[in-house]
Amino acid sequence: MGKNTLSITDNRTDKTYEVPITDDTIRAMDLRQIRVHDDDFGMMSYDPAYKNTASTRSKITFIDGAKGILRYRGYPIEQLAANASYLEVAYLVIYGELPTADQLAKWEHDIKHHTLVHENIRPFLDGFRYDAHPMGMLVSTVAALSTFYPDAKNIFDPESVELQTRRLIAKMPTLAAFAYRREQGFRYNYPDNDLCYTGNFLNMMFKMTELKYESNLAIAKALEVLWILHIDHEQNCSTSTMRMVGSSHADPYLATAAAAAALAGPLHGGANEAVLRMLAEIGDVSNIPEYLDSVKRGERKLMGFGHRVYKNYDPRARIIKEYADDLFAVTGSNPMLDIALELEKIALNEDYFAKRKLYPNVDFYSGIIYQALNIPTSMFTVMFAIPRTVGWLTQWRELLQDPEQKIARPRQIYDGEGERDYVPIEARG
């Protein structure tokens, strides 16, 4: 094989440029030397939605979209889901290595002792309308945490970074459960540190008049697996938002709130909620062919299908589907699952989806599991945001340590009006 360089000939000037190839990429800045006149700005690459642009180097998550591979710090997601606890994987993703027993015990202790939120969060939540969407409440309360922890602005102080990391991982379930309780009109439940991370979340969500909440171990385990699968997914829309906001050196609470806002979109983390609404609209397996015809006519998208990176089955969807059967043995089956399974079977045999390499993604089955856990549809994206906070924080920490990173500021191609003079209002047509 020849030299690791790309030769580019600009036919406008007959000049040839040689740019180095590293990791099968070229540096966009190496294009700037290509110009017609010496005082030109120089060439840029144009890549709307960054479909073919690497924005960073990262050691956190590896995805092979063609083969349907997902690894956190080199460990296959299938092995982590089958063998590790949620906080164990959170530790791995953040620190890069699986914890020893002592490290895990200290990590669990540290997280448990930050689960409470300032009491002023309660009247803050009470200010929302009765029908406020939990994602709007979560984004707002996460941003509000920034005002309670001004020390978080010390983003280059390692101790502060560790403290904010623990605080956010610990408080996301509390804020999420508070949003749910507010939406339902129930009193708030406070953390019970006798319980595991997921058990404590279920306690804050569902405890009513009983003195001590008893979480079902199968349900807590199913939640552990679901949350492990959602921790990180390299440079997706919300993670890129976390990095974009983090690059301006905003504090991690504001960056996390921005990332959660990006996640809320139905094309991203809001898809799990949209999938359940779609399945409810289909209503019966007999309606599937007609629904798919409307998708093929371009009238709507098949929510929970397709992915920018996976052009094969999303490995997370495969694992969730496997766990669904075990969980429904405990909670009782969910008729939505039957519709989803039939929808997948029919869709995967349709040329429209096969030609576009559209397969079920993580959101296709996760909502059905959440529904079986009695979590309302409006809370599904909140359920996504809780574990993804670990990924967002890890990516944020990696950004701050990357000597190549500066404030993110893309350029543009201007194709608006040329210079023109102001026209007094009386002279306008």
Q: Which is nearer to ligand SDX, 181 or 243 (CB)?
A: 243
Tokens of 239: 């993670």
- Binding range to ligand SDX, per CB under 6 A, among 87-95, 207-215, 319-327, 353-361: 353-361
Binding mask 251-270 for ligand SDX (x = CB under 6 A): ----------------xxx-
Given phi > 0 = left and psi -120 to 50 = alpha, else beta, which region is 413?
beta
- Shortest reach from residue 63's CB to ligand SDX, in Å: 8
Task: Please give the angle made by the CA atoms of 383, 387 and 393, to the nearest 5 degrees.
Answer: 135
Q: Which is nearer to ligand SDX, 71 or 301 (CB)?
A: 301
* Alpha-carbon separation of residue 331 from 66, 372, 380 (angstroms): 35, 6, 18
Biggest alpha carbon distance in the chain? Answer: 81
Tokens of 187: 């009193």
- In the bound state, the residue with its beta carbon closest to ligand SDX is 306
Phi, psi of 7 (to 5 degrees): -100, 125
Query: Is-catalytic flag, 268?
Result: yes
Q: How many contiguous H segments (helices) and E segments (strands) does the chain have?
A: 17, 5
Residue 54 makes contact with ligand SDX by CB under 6 A:
no
- Shortest reach from residue 70's CB to ligand SDX, in Å: 9
Using the Cα atoms of residue 73, residue 390, residue 257 and residue 181 in order, give the sign of their dihedral.
positive
Q: Which is nearer to ligand SDX, 153 or 296 (CB)?
A: 296
Residue 304 makes contact with ligand SDX by CB under 6 A:
yes
Give the CA count within 13 Å in the CB-facing half-sphere of 114. Answer: 19
How many amino acids of this chain bind ligand SDX (CB under 6 A)?
Answer: 21
- Shortest reach from residue 111's CB to ligand SDX, in Å: 22
Residue 282 makes contact with ligand SDX by CB under 6 A:
no
Q: How far apart are CA 222 and CA 402, in angstroms?
A: 36
Using the Cα atoms of residue 381, residue 121, residue 90 and residue 402 in order, give the sign of their dihedral.
positive
Among 279, 302, 343, 368, binds ligand SDX (CB under 6 A): 302
Residue 321 makes contact with ligand SDX by CB under 6 A:
no
Q: How far apart are CA 194 and CA 197, in angstroms?
A: 10
Q: Which is nearer to ligand SDX, 152 or 264 (CB)?
A: 264
Q: Which is nearer to ligand SDX, 73 or 233 (CB)?
A: 233
- Shortest reach from residue 226's CB to ligand SDX, in Å: 12
Among 173, 191, 252, 306, binds ligand SDX (CB under 6 A): 306
Residue 311 makes contact with ligand SDX by CB under 6 A:
no
| Residue 194, C-beta contacts closer than 8 angstroms, at least 6 positions apart | none
State the catalytic residue, choosing from 30, 268, 338, 402: 268
- Shortest reach from residue 379's CB to ligand SDX, in Å: 17
Among 133, 307, 321, 397, binds ligand SDX (CB under 6 A): 307
Task: Please give the angle made by the CA atoms of 280, 283 and 284, to the nearest 5 degrees.
Answer: 145
Residues acting as catalytic residues: 268, 307, 363
Residues at the interface with ligand SDX (CB under 6 A) = 233, 236, 267-269, 271, 295, 301-309, 356, 358, 361-363
